[in-house]
Amino acid sequence: MQNEARFGRYEFGLFAATVAAWSLSWYALSINMSTGIPAPVSTTWRFGMASAIMFVWVRVSGTALIFPLRRHFDFMLLGMLLFSTNFILFYVGSLYVVSGLLAVVFSLASIVNLGIAAARGDRAGPRRWFGAALGACGIAMLYGRELTGGIGAMTGLALCVSGTMSFCLGNLVSQSLQRQSVPVVSASAWGMLYGMVWSAVLVVVFGYEFRFDWSVAYVGSMIFLVLVSTILAFWAYLNLIGRIGAGRAAYATVMFPIGALLMSTFAEGWQWTPLAMSGLLLALAGNVFVLRGERRSRKSVGKMGGETAAS
């Protein structure tokens, strides 16, 4: 229980960095995709550059770099889920809906985690299921106007939900690696490298051309996505998981949709309606219910079995 209870200035700094980086990343992602470069090509460049920076970081910091072969299977899985498939699905989803709505769907990671836990035999309490229902209703209300526009918005929603599932499964892999004392920086470097390789494989499979757009929009958004949304955000978020647990760290996903929707309001012309405002409040409330319920559940388990929070 000690790890879960600790939330000092350092943890708050990690939390704030995660929220700020991901609040702005959705608009940068939509700009990146608007140039016409296919999603797997962009993720190949993005994580190729990010992994190179991370390996330099590992080298300079003296963090472990060499791992046994069996650990690389975990790194490959981490890369495929967290540093490739997750982003490709959201990149394509950005073609159908404004960037702020991408962030709102992604904020339901805690609810997806609830479903994954239930599939693994974890019995959730009524508070968490009530939160899941609230979140689902909130998303339906937020997307109500867009869904009347036809199959495109529904496709975007399905892609974003699938991307969120990939992200949540990647979180489980990351948490498992940290439990085995694999440094976050090392795991991220290898994961990003394998994510780049998987993206490149998809480029070849789908017959895309490896090309780069040297426009200001593409280069600028790529730099932001690599340095801020990838290096800074994932370092902060994965460290936050290791220090306070995935459940409490996921509160970051409750906060950044507000900033992302404000960005969509000013930059993409997204218009607020009473229904949309109510939907956002319900979606955020649903996350809070799920996360608070998860925390209570872990405390109960800890008291009954003497278990500590996941670190």
Note the pLDDT tens digit of each residue in 32-54.
Answer: 998 999 999 999 999 999 999 99
pTM, 2 dp: 0.76
Tens digit of each residue's pLDDT (9 = 90 or more) over 259-273 = 787 787 887 777 777
Q: What value does the mean pLDDT take over residues 279-285?
A: 79
Q: Please enumerate in sequence order all residues whose Cβ is within 8 A of that of 235, keeping only pairs 6 or more positions apart, or say none.
A: 184, 185, 188
Query: Cα 253 to chain center, whole Å?
Result: 8
244: left (phi over 0), alpha (psi -120 to 50) or beta: alpha
Tens digit of each residue's pLDDT (9 = 90 or more) over 162-209 = 999 999 899 889 888 988 889 988 999 999 999 999 999 999 999 999
Q: Is the dihedral of CA 286, 287, 290, 295 positive or negative?
A: negative
Q: What value does the mean pLDDT take over residues 201-230?
A: 94
Q: Is the pLDDT at 97 greater than 90, yes or no?
A: no
Q: What is the pLDDT of residue 145?
A: 63
* DSSP 8-state code for residue 232: I
Q: What is the pLDDT of residue 144?
A: 66
- Any idea which residue has 């969120």 for tokens? 164
Q: What value does the mean pLDDT take over residues 59-67?
A: 90
Give the tokens for residue 20: 């700020």
Q: Is the pLDDT at 311 greater than 50, yes or no?
A: no
Give the span between the Cα atoms of 35 and 58, in whole angstroms: 33
Per-residue pLDDT band at 249 (split at 50, 70, 90)? confident
Q: What are phi and psi of 30, to 5 degrees?
A: -65, -35
Q: Is the pLDDT at 287 greater than 50, yes or no?
A: yes
Per-residue pLDDT band at 221 (split at 50, 70, 90)? very high
Tens digit of each residue's pLDDT (9 = 90 or more) over 288-305 = 776 665 555 555 444 433
- Closest residue by Cα to residue 297 from 58, 53, 99, 127: 127
The mean of the pLDDT values for the chain is 81
Q: What value does the mean pLDDT take over residues 273-292?
A: 76
Q: What value does the mean pLDDT take over residues 85-91?
A: 94
Which one has a higher pLDDT value, 244 or 123? 244
Q: Is the pLDDT at 155 greater than 50, yes or no?
A: yes
17 with 229: CB under 8 angstroms?
Answer: no
Gap between the terminal Cα atoms of the chain: 10
Taking the CA atoms of residue 242, residue 109, residue 284 and residue 261 in that order, the dihedral angle to the nearest 10 degrees is 100
Per-residue pLDDT band at 1 (split at 50, 70, 90)? very low
Burial state string for 222-248 with b = 16 or more CB within 10 A and e = fewer than 16: bebbbebbbbbbbbbbbbbbbbbbbbb
- Closest residue by Cα to residue 156 from 91, 85, 90, 96: 96
